[in-house]
């Protein structure tokens, strides 16, 4: 009998391509993304974040008021288990930061709010001979960018990296919202299932753009 949380889409082209996937960051993007990925199949998720849930996280991140004070990865694991048929052994948590020696998986999602962590994770992924896909989400309150890196795209992605010092400080109340985070997470999940569908079909029939940009205020969407 099929798990109940996949029965409505078990005939999709991408269904059945399961992976162990790494998610760097359990913040606005990472929390929503983790839940959506868990609902696409019987994947294993390895989630990295060393932070605790704070009251201000309620504005954008997928946490409950009862999670305040908990480690983010532990609270997120509980939420995923409540909303899917996964068990604890398939949602793995690490309270450590990503370093150059961190063990990653071929499928990686970067959900950080700083460039230094994003760069470290990417460079670590690039060392893997079996690397498959690296999907990076970046956001502000009403706009976002997503980069989807496959083998051969590494140099192109490096051009998008810059120093955190070059970013003007944002007003605290203009950093993130739940609907923007959920939107980015949905786009990132779609990129992954398109990638899986192409593998299952054996031909690149589904679109996987290198970059997606959207300005929500102007409803301006662009991919390339």
Gyration radius of the chain's alpha carbons: 17
| Residue extents of the structural domains in the chain | 13-223
Spatial distance between the Cα atoms of 66 and 130, rounded to a whole number of angstroms: 40
Fold topology of 13-223: Rossmann fold (3.40.50)
Strand 107-110, strand 20-24: pairing: parallel
Query: Can you give the pLDDT of all 224 residues of the chain as single tens digits?
Result: 455 788 889 999 999 999 999 999 999 999 999 999 999 999 999 999 999 999 999 999 999 999 999 999 999 999 999 999 999 999 999 999 999 999 999 999 999 999 999 999 999 999 999 999 999 999 988 899 999 999 999 999 999 999 877 666 654 445 688 999 999 999 999 999 999 999 999 999 999 999 999 998 889 999 99
Predicted TM-score (pTM) of this structure? 0.94
């Amino acid at each position: 009998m099929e798990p109940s949380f996949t029965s409505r889409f078990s005939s999709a082209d991408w269904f059945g391509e399961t992976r162990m996937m790494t998610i760097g960051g359990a913040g606005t993007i990472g929390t929503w993304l983790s839940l959506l990925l868990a609902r696409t199949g019987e994947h294993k998720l390895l989630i990295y974040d060393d932070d605790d849930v704070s009251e201000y996280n309620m504005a954008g991140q997928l946490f409950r008021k009862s999670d305040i004070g908990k480690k983010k990865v532990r609270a997120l694991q509980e939420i995923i288990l409540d909303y899917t048929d996964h068990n604890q052994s398939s949602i793995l948590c690490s309270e450590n930061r990503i370093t150059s020696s961190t063990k990653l998986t071929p499928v990686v999602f970067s959900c950080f709010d700083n460039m230094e962590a994003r760069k470290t994770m990417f460079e670590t992924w690039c060392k893997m001979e079996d690397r498959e896909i690296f999907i990076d989400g970046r956001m502000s309150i009403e706009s976002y960018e997503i980069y989807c890196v496959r083998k051969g795209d590494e140099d192109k992605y490096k051009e998008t990296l810059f120093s955190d010092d070059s970013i003007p400080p944002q007003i605290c109340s203009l950093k993130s919202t739940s609907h923007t985070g959920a939107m980015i997470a949905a786009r990132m999940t779609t990129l992954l299932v398109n990638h899986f569908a192409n593998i299952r079909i054996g031909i690149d029939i589904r679109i996987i753009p290198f970059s997606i940009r959207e300005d929500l205020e102007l409803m301006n969407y662009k991919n390339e």
